Structure 1
Amino acid sequence: MKKIYFSVVGICILLFSILFIPNTSHAEQGEIYEIGEIILNVRSEPSSSGKVIGQLVEGNKVEIFQKKHGWAQTYYAGEEAWIAAHYLIPVSGKSQQAKTDRSNEQVTITASNVNIRSGPGENHPVIASTDSGNTYNIVKTSGDWHNIELTNGNTGWVASWLTNNGTNNNAAGQSKKQTNSVKNTKKANGTLNGYTIVVDPGHGGKDPGAIGLGGIYEKDLISPTAEAVAGQLRSAGANVIMTRSGDYFVTLGKRVAISNSYDTDAFVSLHYNTFPMLSINGTSTYYYSDKDAGLATKVQSAMASTVPLASRGSLQANYKVLRENRAPSILMELGFITNPNDLAHIKTADYQNNVGQAITTGLQNYFSE
């Protein structure tokens, strides 16, 4: 009888473990995966309904700490984040995956204006910067990145190939050199292969933007336009990063941070305009500094020859997303949603596709110089 009793108890424990222990597996700490999708949303929780807090692109590498119900947990901008596990490709080679404790070593920066990031990779946001000659204690190393101790007691990550203590695996540095080589080569034939373009759909979420005729919201017209623009750019070979991929609020500072966290070649912010007088119409492109004027001129010129709306030209303006952006940057007003004629065009898929083609052509012309 006692034997039967213990058998029953054992079966109950087994069933309980099968039915009630969560479907969670923990990855080895320091395990590196590569993104196998062109654009992959980073979410705040392991669910497709989780808030999108950022994006990763094909080829980015991430460190995974656990997997849960088809989702993988990593860190993004210093916060716990989740990405769809089925888009991850394991990176072969144990030396790439293992984090090394190097707390007794120091590293000296050998390049000027070096970004310090929140994580080991160019997909992580910039949290500070440093310059040639500065020396730091190494906390640990992951792949081609050193985690260093900053003067304020915090830590940050620098690329090893920008220091006197490069790692044996210099693939990232070589990749960067190859990317620059691709860009220089492609300038001759006008394609966008090898270029990273950040597309910034204005407003979103609690910020509807301008309100046009019939109570239409600017944000509701911007979203399909941004998708059309991104599609045209990708067709031309560009790597496209979106500052938002849905109807949610993104601060101006975050938009700039997204652009500055990539090796961005051009930043394009998309908007629609309003004015109390219904007769005011047309498109315009804004830039902040002289270094961006050429980009604004090329894109606005392509707009003038591609879309049926009047051109108001390229103009200088002190917008935050332009002023604080390290990449060549423009902000486009793609027509007035308070003008009946403009709005009739703006609402059509043909117009939005034409905007995408104009921006693509303008960028091709700009990079071909």
Structure 2
Amino acid sequence: MRLKHLLSVGIGILLFLFIFIPAIQAENGQIYEVGTSSLNVRSAPSYSAEVIGQLTEGDHVVAFQESFGWVQTYYGGHEAWVASQYLFPAGDQKNTTTKQTELTVTKNEVQIRTGPGTAYKVIGSTSKGSTFKLLETTNDWHKVRLSNGATGWIAAWLTSADTKSKNAITKNKNQVSGLEGYNIVLDPGHGGKDPGAIGIDGIYEKDLIMMTADNIAQQLRAAGAAVILTRSSDYFVPLEERVSISNAYNTDAFISIHFNAFPLIPIQGISTHYYSYGTSRDLARNIQASITQDINMENRGIMKSNYHVLRENNTSSVLVELGFITNPHDLSLIQTTDYQKNVAEGIVSGLTNYFHK
């Protein structure tokens, strides 16, 4: 009886530890580190799912699968999900160096964020001439001490303490081939609470966009370009912030990715939109010609349009409508691997022709 009692107590303690200790557990899989001060752990891959715990900056997460901007792991022995935009590979160690110097902001209207990247929340702004104590540097972002004692992150290239690993922001474009040395801002439209257009069978534009944008980004990087995404998974980014991201970089081209919709099912095809004549119109012409060359969709041509992300942008900017998700023919193509590959290659080719014309 005494032995049975001891076994029961031991099993009870193990069950308590398994269920109630809030730790991320796994035996294998990609290890990520949390890059924000507080990250909700949810029961399902959705912002409306139940919050079952919280992680803090520096905690490690072992990922077993990824789905539309969410990483699946285990929390307290149960399957759990966290938003992937707040994670970075732990093996990278964020390329962090610790510093205790001061920096000066060199541009106006510079945003201060909660983490080292444009996917992190904006918590304030500062202007040219402001000085801060530099705490650390992570992948071309500086962590600084704010006047209220809190900390925030500022893009290194907007300060006097610039870094040398800026993805070739300083370049001689006449001495490069392909897209090496060019900075491309890729803008996956909609996201989060904004689903965009709703197509056949209730499919959301925002989901198709992110899949397509990931393929385009991979091809652009393979061609040598530095790619800046305005969003990297399924979260909402205001139009003003998308433009601010573009204007904050030494951007060579801004490309906004969308899918079209129309009440009349037969309407179909690809179009590229620009706001101002000159370089933006030239960029639109080159991208439209290259995309439509190998894709079996109607070529609707280039159009002058008054979209915010084009109108307010300081660089050559286009918005590409890559087919109608309300048209059965277009939607069937959009969801194929060949389509994704051809769109990505078409945009790379169009940009290359534009820069080296």
Q: Does 1:118 align with 2:112?
A: yes
Pick one of 319, 322, 329 that aligns with 2:310: 322
Going from structure 1 to structure 2, the CA distance change for 1:217 and 1:255 (only over 3 Å counts) comes to same
Describe the shift of the 1:118–1:51 C-alpha distance in structure 2 as closer, same or farther (beyond 3 A): farther
Deviation at 1:85, TM superposition (A): 4.3
Match of 1:99 among 94, 98, 101: 101
Instruction: Flag the 1:175–1:114 CA change in 2: closer, same or farther, 3 A.
Output: farther
Per the alignment, residue 282 of structure 2 pairs with 294
Structure 1 residues 139, 205: closer, same or farther in 2, change over 3 A? closer
* CA distance 1:45–1:326, change in 2 (3 Å): farther
Structure 1 position 229 matched with structure 2 position 216: yes
Indicate the residue corresponding to 1:183 in structure 2: 173
Say which SS state the counterpart of residue 322 (structure 1) adopts. Answer: helix
Residue 86 of structure 1 and its aligned partner are, at CA, apart by 3.3
State the distance in 2 between where 1:303 and 1:195 align: 20
Three-state SS of the structure 1 residue aligned to 2:341 is: helix
Q: What pairs with 1:1-369 in structure 2 (closer than 5 Å)?
A: 43=36, 45=38, 67-69=58-60, 83=88, 85-88=90-93, 97-100=99-102, 116-118=110-112, 127=125, 130=128, 136=129, 138=131, 140=133, 172=163, 179-186=169-176, 189=177, 191-290=178-277, 291-369=279-357
The 3-state SS of whatever aligns with 1:198 is strand
Tell me if the contact between 2:215 and 2:344 (Cα under 8 Å) persists in the aligned partners: yes
Distance 1:233 1:272, change over 3 A: same
Deviation at 1:244, TM superposition (A): 2.1
Letter in 2 for 1:242: L
- How far apart, in 1, do the equivalents of 2:175 and 2:243 lie? 28
Q: Are the equivalent residues in 2 in contact too, given 1:272–1:336 (CA < 8 A)?
A: yes
Q: Which runs of 4+ in 1 moved over 6 A?
A: 47-52, 142-150, 155-162, 174-178
- Write the letter of the residue equivalent to 1:87: D
Identity of aligned residues (%): 41
The number of equivalent residue pairs is 285
3-state SS of 1:98 partner? strand
After superposition, the CA RMSD in angstroms is 4.3
User: How far does residue 181 in structure 1 lie from its aligned partner after superposition?
Assistant: 2.5
SS at match of 1:286: strand
SS of equivalent residue, structure 1 residue 199: strand
Letter in 1 for 2:171: S
**TM-aligned CA distance change 1:118 to 1:223, over 3 Å:** closer
Q: What are the superposed Cα offsets for residues 188-220 of structure 1, whole Å, 9 maximum, x if unpaired?
A: x3x111222222222222222112223322223
SS of structure 1 residue aligned to 2:331: helix
How far off is 1:228 after superposition? 1.6
Q: What do the CA deviations read for 1:293-325 (whole angstroms, capped 9, x no partner)?
A: 111111011122121111111111111122222
Q: Is the 8 A contact 2:105 2:158 kept in 1?
A: no
Measure the CA separation in 1 of the matches of 2:35 and 2:258.
25
Q: State the distance in 2 between where 1:206 and 1:161 align.
A: 31
User: Structure 1 residues 203 and 44, CA, compared in 2 at 3 Å: closer, same or farther?
Assistant: farther
Flag the 1:99–1:347 CA change in 2: closer, same or farther, 3 A: same
Q: When the two structures are superposed, what TM-score results if normalisation uses the length of structure 2?
A: 0.63
Larger Rg: 1
Query: 2:330 corresponds to which letter in structure 1?
Result: D
Deviation string, structure 1 residues 17-74 (Cα, Å, up to 9, x no partner): xxxxx99xxxxxxxxxxxxxxxx9955635787999xxxxxxxxxxxx9744479xxx
Q: Is the 8 A contact 1:45 1:82 kept in 2?
A: no
Amino acid at match of 1:99: T
- What secondary structure sits across from 1:205 in the alignment? coil
**Counterpart residue type for residue 170 of structure 2:** N
1:118 Cα offset (Å): 2.6
Contact 1:202 1:271 in 2 (8 A): yes
Between the aligned partners of 1:310 and 1:41, the Cα distance in structure 2 is 45
CA apart distance, 1:261 = 3.1
Q: Please, which runs of 5 or more residues in structure 2 have no aligned partner?
A: 1-21, 24-32, 47-55, 63-85
Deviations 1:59-98 (A, max 9, x none): xxxxxx9744479xxxxxxxxx775543225566xxx711
Q: CA deviation at 1:256?
A: 2.2
Letter in 1 for 2:231: R
Where does structure 1 lack aligned partners over 5 or more consecutive residues?
1-21, 24-39, 53-64, 72-80, 131-135
Contact 2:38 2:57 in 1 (8 A): no
- TM superposition shift of 1:251: 2.1
